[in-house]
Amino acid sequence: MRASASARAALRVARSGAARAVVARVAAAQAAPAMARSGIQARSMADKPAAAAAAAPAGPTSIEMTEDGIAIITMNDLSERMNVLNKGMMEAFEGVLNKLESDSSIRAAVLMSGKDDSWVAGADIRMLDACKSAEELATLARTGQKMMDRLAGLKKPVVAAINGFCLGGGAELAMACHYRIVSTGSKTKIGLPEVQLGLLPGSGGTQRLPKLVGIQNAVTMMTTGQQLDAKRAKRNGFADSVADPFALRDAALQAARGLADGSLKRKPKAQPLVPTRLLEGTSIGRNVLFDQAGKMIAKKAGTAYPAPMEILNAVRAGVEGGHAKGQEVEAAAFGKLGMTSVSAALRSIYFAQTAAKKNPFPKPAEPASTVAVLGAGLMGAGIAEVTAHKAAATVLLRDKTLEGLSRGEKQISGNMDKKVSRRRMTKAAADAVTSRVLGFCDGVPGWDRQLPRADVVVEAVFEDLGLKHSVIKELEATGLRPDAILASNTSALPIADLAKASKHPERVIGMHYFSPVDKMPLLEVIPHAGTSDAVVGRAFDLGLKQGKTVIVVKDVPGFYVNRCLGPFMAEAFALMQEGVEAERLDKVMRDFGFPVGPVTLADEVGIDVASHVNSFLTEHLGERMGGSDATVLRDMMDRGMMGRKSGKGFFVYGKGKGKGAKTVNPDAKALLAKYLKKGASVEAAAAMDDATIQDRMAGRFLIEALLCLQDGIIRSPTDGDVGAIFGIGFPPFRGGPFRHIDAVGADNLRNQLRGFAAKYGPQFNPPRILNEYADAKKRFHPSE
């Protein structure tokens, strides 16, 4: 099911960054005392310039001295791929501060990174994860605050020369410096993404950011976790200046010298809260601002995500009560939030997503440099776009007709134009993307010469087995290289059936993208029984390069995500046929945490598609799809109610400016009345409590997810969590279906499902695997 609403839902999830992750790694123990461990090497360049410049730092930080008394501090933790504020780094930094305070030969300092892609990517999330109490976390926050205060209070100016990720605690470190130069390198991103982990910046960030960028900007940055490139960081006041990555060190040295000799002025210490902003300049204005922001946050984040409100509270406490008071509130909130199940779930998603960035199959020697995409429809053009943009590969985009091709090319250039107009991309970079897409259609020569360049072909033609077979045969006859892989972006057809048309079935694989491809984070990679591991590795690698979170799933109807979605949607139709009203059902499921309700989802997907998927999955899953009479969908189709695309489905959609507005469709309501189950009524359904509706809907999803694990369709509970969150927006704060079952308890869920099965039918029968986990009192994520 190419669910555009679920796509948008998960997109919001992805944007909120709520679902990201890592393989937990034990922080490398740093054995020696702070100074020795820090590997601080205070050398005079005048003494040993060559040796000093060439020496690799022995610990996470090192210091070089210039002849004129500028200390160049380099952070490079060799035990980590990225610099993070772990115990070792923090202790080493204490040593650095001691040195800066005590060494009178130092006039100023430059703080830079020895890594290519990270300045500091934040506090070590594993270290936070290991904390066992709110007090432990609050103490950690206070330690960070003290370190930052000490740095900010230095008499000697410290210039942050930022290249690479500068996130969370890293951004807080930068803010405690006295001047920030941000590199224009593509990996440079400034942000405070703690909110995406259910946390708030705990090292003084809630206090320093408003002073740099203003209250409104700061609250937006911290409550959304948005990340800025150099230019945006300069525009909003975070950066004092920007520099090319190659010129960064020199620019920073020059700034340090200027600050030391007074020719360059520091920003005023407590920059008034941007007095030009009317609201922020007066206490009355600020009250209005905080009250409005509070209402907006309450509306958007609800009670499910407590961090945004705590961020606002900490900012307000600082603005109204001063730095110390603000930090006190910040540290306490950091401790409290860190112990919530929401933060635990979001952290676990972060770990899972980082794990999913690692290709467990043989990695190709070289990434795919040329990818052919067949079909320039919505999906094909989307795949072409992420391939040319994120994977920076040449794309041979082919459609049957010139019209089809032009539409697809327009989709890509339109998306690039949007990025340029929103200043997310330069015009030159956008042009480079579109120029990587070479268009072909029937009757235009050159295809047969170009096709042999392709390392991968992704076909995204109409979902018809015969058509796909003829496409595969034609590709092989035209000169597809024998080592090229042949991927099908199907959401329904068995990959094994598709492979039958190929002379090399071992190179055929499924790559199921979600719509819109440029925004949806998930990719399901589907080998059939005869696909070679090397081909899986190549498809996985391409997915990663396209910026996707990849899960490998078995070749079964619906694969994983749509297989779970099918019974979930069937339950929505069942509830409506018991009299539950569309608007209520949507609201109740949004309250559960789904970004869109199931009824809206059906309209967004299209009633025709929903009907097709329903009957297709019913054929394969039998009673597991039971509970509703899906002929209602066909009746709707017969009456032209196709969902949003036809202007009406379960809802009626506004046109033009009011496009987003929707009201219940009285015709659909009248039709549903005819399908009411025996003895059911809208009045009786109104008395059904919200929790029952949520439990029934979630139950159907969970049963199918469990069966997918039981039958080896997904490779682990973690893949199941990642797929559900990124594929259809399963509530991130619940951590995915398996983490949710752990929270509810396998035994409790089993009892609940048994009750539902007795009342509503066998579609609620608990799967064998749930019984096993319930009997053994096991968890799907045992270490948490």
Ligand X SMILES: C/C=C/C(=O)SCCNC(=O)CCNC(=O)[C@H](O)C(C)(C)COP(=O)(O)OP(=O)(O)OC[C@H]1O[C@@H](n2cnc3c(N)ncnc32)[C@H](O)[C@@H]1OP(=O)(O)O
Report the candidate in 339, 436, 356 with the shortest Cα–Cα distance to residue 396.
436
Characterize the bridge pairing of strands 456-459 and 370-374: parallel
Q: And the tokens for 603?
A: 């309209």
Cβ closest to ligand X, residue 22 vs residue 374:
22
Stretch that binds ligand X, among 3-11, 196-204, 282-290, 605-613 (CB under 6 A): 196-204
Q: Locate tokens 């010139």: which residue?
A: 402
| Helices within 422-464 (DSSP H only) | 427-435, 447-450
- Contact between 354 and ligand X per CB under 6 A: yes
Cβ closest to ligand X, residue 38 vs residue 118:
118
Q: Locate tokens 């009342």: which residue?
A: 759
Tell me the residue ranges of DSSP E strands in 31-97: 43-44, 61-65, 70-75
How many chain residues are in contact with ligand X, going by CB under 6 A?
27
Cβ closest to ligand X, residue 66 vs residue 118:
118
Q: H-helix or E-strand containing 394? A: strand 394-399
Q: Which residues contact 292 (CB under 8 A, 6 or more apart)?
A: none
Query: Considering all CA atoms of the chain, what is the largest pairwise distance in Å, rounded to the nearest integer?
Result: 93
Residue 94 catalytic? no
Cβ pair 85, 120 in contact under 8 A: yes
- Residue 701's CB is within 10 A of a number of other CB atoms, namely 22
Residue 643's beta-bridge partner residues?
Answer: 648
Binding mask 439-468 for ligand X (x = CB under 6 A): ------------------------------
Stretch that binds ligand X, among 17-25, 48-56, 241-249, 447-455 (CB under 6 A): 17-25
- Contact between 25 and ligand X per CB under 6 A: yes
Shortest distance in whole angstroms from residue 90 CB to ligand X: 11
- Candidate list 1, 18, 22, 508; residue touching ligand X; CB under 6 A: 22
Q: Which residues contact 240 (CB under 8 A, 6 or more apart)?
A: 179, 180, 181, 234, 255, 267
Q: Locate tokens 């009045």: which residue?
A: 683
- What does the alpha-carbon distance between residue 308 and residue 224 come to, in Å, rounded to a whole number? 8
Cβ closest to ligand X, residue 197 vs residue 374:
197
Cβ closest to ligand X, residue 318 vs residue 649:
318
Shortest distance in whole angstroms from residue 135 CB to ligand X: 15
At residue 266, what are phi and psi to the nearest 5 degrees?
-70, 155
Shortest distance in whole angstroms from residue 596 CB to ligand X: 26
Stretch that binds ligand X, among 117-125, 210-218, 255-263, 552-560 (CB under 6 A): 117-125
516 cis-preceded (ω within 30 degrees of 0) = yes
- Contact between 193 and ligand X per CB under 6 A: yes
Contacts to ligand X from residues 125-154, by CB under 6 A: 125-126, 141, 144
Shortest distance in whole angstroms from residue 184 CB to ligand X: 18
Shortest distance in whole angstroms from residue 633 CB to ligand X: 41
Residue from 524, 571, 604, 704 carrying the catalytic annotation:
524
Shortest distance in whole angstroms from residue 440 CB to ligand X: 33
Binding mask 378-407 for ligand X (x = CB under 6 A): ------------------------------
Cβ closest to ligand X, residue 167 vs residue 617:
167
- Candidate list 84, 376, 412, 599; residue touching ligand X; CB under 6 A: 84
Cβ closest to ligand X, residue 110 vs residue 314:
314
Report the candidate in 272, 242, 270, 237 with the shortest Cα–Cα distance to residue 255.
242
Shortest distance in whole angstroms from residue 114 CB to ligand X: 15
- What does the alpha-carbon distance between residue 370 and residue 367 come to, in Å, rounded to a whole number? 9
Shortest distance in whole angstroms from residue 571 CB to ligand X: 35
Burial (CB count within 10 angstroms: exposed 0-12, middle 13-18, buried 19+), residue 417: middle
Contacts to ligand X from residues 155-184, by CB under 6 A: 165, 167-169
- Candidate list 357, 390, 400, 453; residue touching ligand X; CB under 6 A: 357
Cβ closest to ligand X, residue 122 vs residue 579:
122
Q: And the tokens for 765?
A: 């029968």
- Candidate list 113, 203, 600, 665; residue touching ligand X; CB under 6 A: 203
Shortest distance in whole angstroms from residue 141 CB to ligand X: 6
SS3 labels along 699-765: HHHHHHHHHHHHCCCCCCHHHHHHHHHHHHCCCHHHCCHHHHHHHHCHHHHHHHHHHHHHHHCHHHC
- Contact between 93 and ligand X per CB under 6 A: no
Cβ closest to ligand X, residue 568 vs residue 726:
726
Report the candidate in 76, 156, 62 with the shortest Cα–Cα distance to residue 109.
156
Q: Which residues are catalytic?
A: 524
Question: Would you tell me which residues interact with ligand X (CB under 6 A)?
Answer: 20, 22-23, 25, 81-82, 84, 121-126, 141, 144, 165, 167-169, 193-194, 197, 201-203, 354, 357
